[in-house]
Amino acid sequence: MMSLTSRFKVKRRDGLLLAVFYAVVGALQIIILAFSSSTSIPPHVGALAILSFIAAYGLFKTKRWSTWLVIALFFPQLVFGVVSLYASIALYSLFPEVGVLLLNIALAMFIALSFISFIYVAVKRKTFE
């Protein structure tokens, strides 16, 4: 049975994991954009989704610019996650129904994983280039 890294001809397994993370984040942001009401469509979510897909491609193909894109993308992603989590908690209280509670947990995991990926890429940026 072929491993995932050999099937996709990936040089770095950690780069593949980071690429999958950013691809999933980009896809979820497109879903958020699709389910937003037409009066309050947040255009920055679309921009973050496109940048996440570009970062996923760069990490997958181990492009030199991908490390700097991940580092630069961390700050707007962090603001998006923290503001969304704060708004959800303020609007629905801390222990709402199950759906909103799962959303809050997912946002907290997104913030944590974004922070971890930022630190990892910043520390290992020489090996990604």
Whether residue 85 has pLDDT greater than 80? yes
Helix intervals (H) in 8-97: 13-35, 43-60, 65-92
Domain count for the chain: 1
Tokens of 5: 């890294």
Tell me, what DSSP letter sits at residue 62?
A: T
Burial 70-86 (b: 16+ CB within 10 A, else e): beebbeebeebbeebbe
Residue 102 lies in a domain: yes
Residue 74 lies in a domain: yes
pLDDT per residue as tens digits for the range 39-79? 666 778 889 999 999 999 988 888 888 888 999 999 999 99
pTM of the model: 0.80
pLDDT per residue as tens digits for the range 107-123? 999 999 999 989 988 88
Residue 4 lies in a domain: no
Residue 3 lies in a domain: no
Give the range of the structural domain holding residue 93, as residue numbers without chain letter.
10-128
Residue 105 lies in a domain: yes
Tokens of 26: 């980009």
